[in-house]
Chains A and B, each alone.
Chain A
Amino acid sequence: MEALVAQKVTKRYKGRHRETLALDAVDLSIAKGRLFAFLGRNGAGKTTFIKIASTLLAPTSGRVELFGRDVVADPAAVRPLIAVVPQEGKPFYHMTPREHIVEYLRVRGASGETAKSRADGMLEAMGLNEYKDEVSYRLSGGLQQRTMVAMILATQAPFLFLDEPTLGMDPFARRQVWKVIRRAAQAGSTVLLTTHYLDEAEQLSEELAVIESGRVLYRGTAEALKSTLGREVRLRFSRGFTAPELQPYGRVFEERGAVTLLTMRKDVRELTELALERGSEITVGPVTLEEAFLELVGRGIEEDA
């Protein structure tokens, strides 16, 4: 069953001087219980989509259904089923992390007992225990962000929208948050998150969509993205090669004198032989999602130009 179905969602922001087409007839569906990541450059339209789907912004045209309910026509039916971490949201300055979770759950209708026990579990899981009774204006930026995420995840809402949930978090904290997000999905929540950390998307998401200039460029798994692009391996040559001669094999980057090539598996043997002939060291590895993303979006930009 689909948790989210978007059809031809278009959003035009009308400014004083110009109009921005933030979403251009986006079609997208997300299966129930899926952990779905939205990737795209700054201004690609990720937040706009999340706001529309979470009843916070009106689309210019098109339709979004959440669990079969229209987000525009029937927001009152949708809202009890969702919770949102807004991009760059900040906690109440005068409340502690524990109070944030308890009070937010209680406002949403949970009993005092449920709220407290979920809060304690969540504080522990998010590594906030040490800070749970500190008012939030005394917390660092990353800890405040953790408070926001903890509060939203504790709702166990059927659909969780997380707009850059790990923004400003250290690598340890990010991994803790991943664990909690994964657990939410395993427990049955559908998760739509955005991130600029491609390693995070690769680690965390079961499926992803790459969005650029308001259009969905790709939708599928991280693995499939790499192979459909024809970029499965990364070869790095320490010397003896120039970028132009490697161009026919795939995408080439020059960094600090070395040349990096993203290419297909079948070319590896030939290029390795060549490297040995020229006395160049060569390292071979799988392409990362970040590289595949650069390739995909890069192609899109080149086509537009």
Chain B
Amino acid sequence: MIAGGQVKAAFRICYFNGIIPLWRSPLLIWAVFLTPLSFLFFLFVITGPTDPQFLPHAVVGGVLFTVIFTGNGMLNDCAYLRLERQLQQIFVASPVRPFAYLMGMALSELAFTIPALVLFLAILLLVTPVSLLGFVGLLGVVLLTWLMATSLGFLISTLFKQLREIWPIGTLTFSSLAVLPPIFYPAYLIPARFQWVAFLAPSTYASQLADAVTGVNVGSPLSPGVLNSPWLDLAGLAGATILFALAAAYLARWREP
């Protein structure tokens, strides 16, 4: 199958693995919404009225939380299809290239989150003005974060031979990426000496970059000063994406060892 066929295959997989289930069980949308929405709610109740800069950052955080959790979906779905249903195998033993299968799976995860993303983006426009360029930039950050998260999700899924070992790992990993780092809360709240620690998580770069492109101001600058550079954020996010994608490609069990 030629390249065009592979792209079509990826979108086809997205259609039946992402869109059809969403269509048949619309309640699934709520599952995606609920956690980031409740975070947002609590943060608003606690601090919203006192810090006017805080809310837009947290709403952008809601966008990123949703996107980061596509990685958890990727992890669970890829493991489930490979280990429980033997369905990865029917795509591997076919003209579909492994890469097209992966893109199809990752697109399905994205399809799942689109309703939630639309909601959060709408809330964002309500709480702060965002320029068209800023909006496009944010979508770019969303796409990069999605690639980063789904690569990581797939990477982790390749490490397991048993489904039952996976579930806690996924929740742990992606919660640590989306809740612990300054995604919902602003990074300057971290004591200056430890601000660099947040940059060990690739999601921090995504959050900082998203703030930068949308023009959301999060208060005092971070130290050391280099942490305030959007270029560092871009490099960190892109670097993590490439690293995870390469490791995933290397470890993928297209052919069991």
* Chain A residues at the B interface, C-beta cutoff of 8 Å: 51, 54-58, 75-76, 79-80, 82-84, 86-92, 94-95, 99, 103-104, 106-109, 135, 151-152, 155, 161
Residue in contact with A89 in the complex, picked from B8, B20, B85, B255, CB distance below 8 Å: B85
Residue in contact with A90 in the complex, picked from B13, B84, B94, CB distance below 8 Å: B84
Bound Cα distance A161, B95 (Å): 15
Contacts of B96 in A (CB 8 A): 107-108
New A-B contacts (16) at CB < 8 Å, excluding given A80-B95, A82-B94, A92-B16? A51-B256, A57-B255, A58-B257, A76-B97, A79-B95, A83-B93, A83-B94, A86-B90, A92-B17, A92-B87, A94-B25, A103-B16, A107-B104, A108-B94, A109-B1, A155-B94
Bound Cα distance A56, B253 (Å): 9
Closest A residue to B96 by CB, please name it. Answer: A107
Q: Is the CB of A56 within 8 A of B13?
A: no
Can you list the 5 inter-chain pairs with the closest CB atoms, starting with the nearest?
A: A89-B86, A86-B86, A80-B95, A90-B85, A84-B93
Closest A residue to B104 by CB, please name it. Answer: A107
Q: Is the CB of B255 within 8 A of A135?
A: no
Q: Is the CB of A88 within 8 A of B86?
A: yes
Closest chain A CB from B88 CB (angstroms): 9
Contacts of A76 in B (CB 8 A): 97
Contacts of A104 in B (CB 8 A): 90
Bound Cα distance A183, B19 (Å): 35
Q: Is the CB of B16 within 8 A of A84?
A: no
Q: Is the CB of A84 within 8 A of B90?
A: yes
Contacts of A152 in B (CB 8 A): 90
Contacts of B106 in A (CB 8 A): none
Interface residue total, chain B, C-beta cutoff 8 A = 30
Contacts of A91 in B (CB 8 A): 85, 87
Contacts of B95 in A (CB 8 A): 79-80, 108-109
List 22 interface pairs A-B (beta carbons < 8 Å), by A numbering: A51-B256, A54-B93, A55-B93, A56-B92, A57-B256, A75-B255, A80-B1, A82-B93, A83-B90, A84-B89, A84-B90, A90-B87, A91-B87, A92-B85, A94-B21, A103-B16, A106-B8, A107-B96, A107-B104, A108-B95, A151-B90, A152-B90
Say yes or no: A55-B12 contact (C-beta < 8 A), given A75-B255, A94-B20, A94-B25.
no
Say yes or no: A107-B93 contact (C-beta < 8 A), given A56-B255, A92-B17.
no
Bound Cα distance A137, B17 (Å): 15
Main secondary structure of the interface of B (DSSP, over half): helix
Closest chain A CB from B112 CB (angstroms): 12
Contacts of B25 in A (CB 8 A): 94
Q: Is the CB of B16 within 8 A of A95?
A: yes
Q: Is the CB of B255 within 8 A of A55?
A: yes
Closest chain B CB from A54 CB (angstroms): 5
Contacts of B20 in A (CB 8 A): 94-95, 99
Q: Is the CB of B13 within 8 A of A107?
A: yes
Residue B164 lies at the interface, judged by CB distance under 8 Å to chain A = no
Bound Cα distance A99, B93 (Å): 19
Contacts of A161 in B (CB 8 A): 93
Closest chain B CB from A56 CB (angstroms): 5
Contacts of B231 in A (CB 8 A): none
Residue B5 lies at the interface, judged by CB distance under 8 Å to chain A = yes
Contacts of B12 in A (CB 8 A): 103, 106-107
Closest A residue to B92 by CB, please name it. Answer: A56
Closest chain B CB from A169 CB (angstroms): 17
Contacts of A88 in B (CB 8 A): 86
Residues facing A in B88-112 (CB within 8 A) are: 89-97, 104
Closest B residue to A72 by CB, please name it. Answer: B255
Q: Is the CB of B257 within 8 A of A107?
A: no
Q: Is the CB of A80 within 8 A of B94?
A: yes
Residue in contact with B24 in the complex, picked from A55, A79, A103, A135, CB distance below 8 Å: A135
Contacts of A87 in B (CB 8 A): 86
Residue in contact with B92 in the complex, picked from A55, A103, A107, A109, CB distance below 8 Å: A55
Residues facing A in B1-40 (CB within 8 A) are: 1, 5, 8-9, 12-13, 15-17, 20-21, 24-25
Q: Is the CB of A58 within 8 A of B255?
A: yes
Contacts of A94 in B (CB 8 A): 20-21, 24-25
Q: Is the CB of A79 within 8 A of B93?
A: yes
Closest chain A CB from B27 CB (angstroms): 13
Contacts of B257 in A (CB 8 A): 58
Contacts of B5 in A (CB 8 A): 109
Bound Cα distance A152, B20 (Å): 21
Q: Is the CB of B91 within 8 A of A56?
A: no
Residues facing A in B43-99 (CB within 8 A) are: 84-87, 89-97
Q: Is the CB of B85 within 8 A of A56?
A: no
Closest B residue to A94 by CB, please name it. Answer: B21
Closest A residue to B91 by CB, please name it. Answer: A107
Select the residue from B17, B86, B104 with max chain A CB neighbours within 10 A.
B86
Contacts of A82 in B (CB 8 A): 93-94
Contacts of A79 in B (CB 8 A): 92-95
Closest chain B CB from A89 CB (angstroms): 4
Select the residue from A87, A94, A152 with max chain B CB neighbours within 10 A.
A94
